A and B are shown apart, each in its own frame.
Chain A
């Protein structure tokens, strides 16, 4: 009995910490409609800044409280800076570009933290009051846990009062619904947005500081926290504070008891919860269908065919790429192989995102399944490389078919989060099923067939397969199927009225994208000679998103350009600087500010303008 109580209290304490981060994220999303990937980074900054401030203050409870509040204010100020210098300029840009910009901030913050606070985990000395226990039902319960438990509901109450009982809160709720109308009533929505962002950032900062006594400030917490926070926000329903609270409770308690009953399940438990909730309630526990916030320019992405000049440029690049092995060294060749694969990987995500209208945060799932499929085929089933390269896309496509039925019922961020959940489940399986997958050590010795061991031969093979794959995707997207898919994306009801089944079209697109990504994964397995859980990681999914978004979703050339630029930039940066994240992040932010339509979209526009003049 006492043990259950302790687990329960532990669960409540972690629910409070979860809620603090999720509350900020959901408030920011509700008002600005920006999916703020940098929210975990603000939490991390809270932890580091909190460490600096709290280490300098006397170690008694009153000073601790003051330090936490100061940290919150500091992170709020950082949030305000991010909002005014970056986000404010891109509220009218497509949603995905905003997402890209916040990715850039994540990268920048990672390097800044590393430079300022160093690579070591930072822990706070725990004074006596922090280590104190109270005895409840013969069990020792940390006082600090009880404090944390109280903070969650208090914060919910405070926020609720702020949003329902003050003029400011009323304005914020109005802006959530129709920001243009709020402006027409004389309210400066820019200041409102800045304040909301600062509030959300401050909450994240407080969350980070409060987590210090039970953990540490470390460089990995941003991505862990953002994933958890997203799950909470999505499970609760986007923009709903009570929903976020309920979801925090549900997830934290399930986590607290799940860890006792099935220790292995913890890595996937939250994602299983999310998948179940989204399947049963597509808008989260307390969420409502999202009407597009009025007053932003969310034009659906057109998908344009390349202009003739661009085709000639593409043909020239391809010719150059085909001739590359005649003069390129081994390193350049491996980079080129990577680029060819990235091109297919990005094009597969683009097929889903652009014409399909389904943004995926977990595209690495298909890539990883392809890679592991190919590895099993040669290592487990002793099949040949060509057979493995057929199994890779086929396996990924099969998984996409099975899983797709759940995905295609959702839309927008919910859909994206369900793909993330699926990717995390796949990742956890690869990571934990050590006897089959080798766990973190992966599967080694996945080498190409004897005839393709020469890197040049393998490169030519990869280039041929990837180019053919991209062209095939293009062909399909410009066939009647592609037009039907875009019709279903732009208006499901109108598409239904002319006899199109949107769900089937999306499922077919998902399977197609899954197969192409799986093929890219299979090719990577042989190129590297090994597969690791990292192939299914969030980072890999983010790579794909960055490539597509950098290139621009509006054109078929976009993902190809994005893949080449991103892979090239990445490899060059890795060579010349150890601050590659900072440089990459700044480049992304700069690119978003300069090319709000993506590289290919902007070039296309300039091209059109040039022709008109």
Chain B
């Protein structure tokens, strides 16, 4: 599905990603773990093309998308939900979803507002509410629903559980597992190990701009040494 090889990214002169490589099989839910500032968000932004990689290959759906314009990458089937959610606060729930709408893909039934409201029942009760008048959890669900309207093959979630109440985190986890059932491949960055363990079947760990560990979630949980080296605060 996604094959990343030796990707380097910069913010101005700061060398953030220093050779990131990993592979993501179709149908998996893989989590990107790492400490603050390790390069998780930059990895996500590089994949969607908001940050342009200075070198390296990003193979997605049979093409090298490194250096493509963001909208082209999105149309190729990469869906991105940013850390800050970036809901259009002046637009209603329905309008936010409309912005995300793209044609159906791979002969799969397209996502519609009604299907999404089944996944996130709260949203269905506030169709005409503007994004600015929603809680953080509701905004996070809207952000995911909006991206799903583009019928992505691969969904990138940047810290979906951040700043949410435990009940909402649980709802979010259920939603991600439901998406997995639907056959959507998910790649998420997380700081919350419990949430990661609950949804992900694979894990990869980033440290100072490099991937230092990759394997199944179960293997990571068994590998005490890796966890204390890369994740303990």
Residues of A within 8 A of B (CB): 167, 170-171, 173-174, 176-178, 180-189, 294
Q: Among B100, B146, B149, which residue has the most Cβ atoms of chain A within 10 A?
A: B100
A184 near B95: Cβ-Cβ < 8 Å:
no
B91 near A174: Cβ-Cβ < 8 Å:
yes
B204 contacts the other chain (Cβ, under 8 Å)? no
A174 near B99: Cβ-Cβ < 8 Å:
yes
Binary CB contact string for chain B from 54 to 92 against chain A (1 if under 8 A, 0 otherwise)? 000000000000000111101100001010001011110
Q: Give A186 to B77 CA distance when docked, in angstroms.
A: 9
CB distance from B212 to the nearest CB of A (A): 28
Q: Give A44 to B139 CA distance when docked, in angstroms.
A: 46
CB distance from B70 to the nearest CB of A (A): 4
B82 near A187: Cβ-Cβ < 8 Å:
no
Give every chain B residue within 8 A of A185 (Cβ-Cβ).
71, 74, 99-100, 102, 146-147, 149-150
Q: With A167-B98, A174-B99, A189-B71 as given contacts, are A184 and B91 in contact (CB-CB < 8 Å)? A: no
The residue on B at minimum CB distance from A169 is B95
The residue on A at minimum CB distance from B102 is A186
The 5 A-B pairs at the shortest CB distance, nearest first, are namely A186-B74, A183-B70, A181-B86, A174-B99, A183-B71
Which of B70, B88, B89, B149 is in CB contact (< 8 Å) with A184? B70
CB distance from B13 to the nearest CB of A (A): 10
B82 near A182: Cβ-Cβ < 8 Å:
no
The residue on B at minimum CB distance from A176 is B90
CB distance from A182 to the nearest CB of B (A): 7
Binary CB contact string for chain B from 29 to 52 against chain A (1 if under 8 A, 0 otherwise)? 000000000000000000010100
CB distance from B128 to the nearest CB of A (A): 12
Q: Among B89, B90, B99, which residue has the most Cβ atoms of chain A within 10 A?
A: B99
CB distance from B110 to the nearest CB of A (A): 13
Q: Among A171, A173, A187, which residue has the most Cβ atoms of chain B within 10 A?
A: A187
A184 near B146: Cβ-Cβ < 8 Å:
no
Give every chain B residue within 8 A of A187 (Cβ-Cβ).
71, 99
Q: Give A164 to B171 CA distance when docked, in angstroms.
A: 32
CB distance from B96 to the nearest CB of A (A): 8
CB distance from B75 to the nearest CB of A (A): 5
Q: Give A185 to B80 CA distance when docked, in angstroms.
A: 8
CB distance from A283 to the nearest CB of B (A): 15
Q: Give A391 to B193 CA distance when docked, in angstroms.
A: 71
CB distance from B202 to the nearest CB of A (A): 24
CB distance from B85 to the nearest CB of A (A): 9
18 contacts between A and B (CB under 8 A): A167-B98, A170-B99, A171-B99, A173-B91, A174-B96, A176-B90, A177-B88, A177-B90, A177-B91, A180-B50, A180-B70, A184-B70, A184-B80, A185-B100, A185-B102, A185-B147, A186-B71, A186-B102
Give every chain B residue within 8 A of A189 (Cβ-Cβ).
71
Residues of B within 8 A of A (CB): 48, 50, 69-72, 74-75, 80, 82, 86, 88-91, 95-96, 98-102, 146-147, 149-150
CB distance from B135 to the nearest CB of A (A): 19
CB distance from A453 to the nearest CB of B (A): 55
Give every chain B residue within 8 A of A188 (Cβ-Cβ).
69, 71-72
The residue on B at minimum CB distance from A178 is B86
Q: Give A170 to B149 CA distance when docked, in angstroms.
A: 15
Q: Give A275 to B48 CA distance when docked, in angstroms.
A: 45
Q: Give A177 to B100 CA distance when docked, in angstroms.
A: 15
B89 near A177: Cβ-Cβ < 8 Å:
yes
Q: Give A170 to B71 CA distance when docked, in angstroms.
A: 17
Q: Give A246 to B102 CA distance when docked, in angstroms.
A: 37
A186 near B69: Cβ-Cβ < 8 Å:
no
A sample of 18 more A-B contacts (CB under 8 A), given A185-B71, A186-B75, is A167-B101, A173-B90, A174-B96, A174-B99, A177-B89, A180-B70, A183-B50, A183-B74, A184-B48, A184-B74, A184-B80, A185-B146, A186-B74, A186-B102, A186-B150, A187-B71, A188-B69, A189-B71
Give every chain A residue within 8 A of B98 (Cβ-Cβ).
167, 170
CB distance from A64 to the nearest CB of B (A): 38
Give every chain A residue within 8 A of B150 (Cβ-Cβ).
185-186
Q: Give A170 to B96 CA distance when docked, in angstroms.
A: 8
CB distance from A293 to the nearest CB of B (A): 12
The residue on B at minimum CB distance from A166 is B98
B50 near A182: Cβ-Cβ < 8 Å:
no
B99 near A184: Cβ-Cβ < 8 Å:
no
CB distance from A576 to the nearest CB of B (A): 42
Q: Give A294 to B80 CA distance when docked, in angstroms.
A: 16
Q: Give A180 to B84 CA distance when docked, in angstroms.
A: 13
CB distance from B159 to the nearest CB of A (A): 16
B75 near A184: Cβ-Cβ < 8 Å:
no
Q: Give A174 to B142 CA distance when docked, in angstroms.
A: 14
CB distance from B8 to the nearest CB of A (A): 19
CB distance from B88 to the nearest CB of A (A): 5
Q: Give A176 to B101 CA distance when docked, in angstroms.
A: 18
CB distance from A403 to the nearest CB of B (A): 34
CB distance from B101 to the nearest CB of A (A): 8
A170 near B69: Cβ-Cβ < 8 Å:
no
Give every chain A residue within 8 A of B90 (Cβ-Cβ).
173, 176-177
B80 near A170: Cβ-Cβ < 8 Å:
no
Give every chain B residue within 8 A of A167 (Cβ-Cβ).
98, 101
Q: Give A171 to B147 CA distance when docked, in angstroms.
A: 14
CB distance from B93 to the nearest CB of A (A): 12
Give every chain A residue within 8 A of B89 (Cβ-Cβ).
177
Q: Among A171, A178, A181, which residue has the most Cβ atoms of chain B within 10 A?
A: A181
CB distance from B197 to the nearest CB of A (A): 28
CB distance from B9 to the nearest CB of A (A): 16
Q: Give A189 to B139 CA distance when docked, in angstroms.
A: 23
B82 near A184: Cβ-Cβ < 8 Å:
yes
B69 near A183: Cβ-Cβ < 8 Å:
yes
Q: Give A174 to B146 CA distance when docked, in angstroms.
A: 12
CB distance from B94 to the nearest CB of A (A): 9
Give every chain A residue within 8 A of B50 (Cβ-Cβ).
180, 183-184
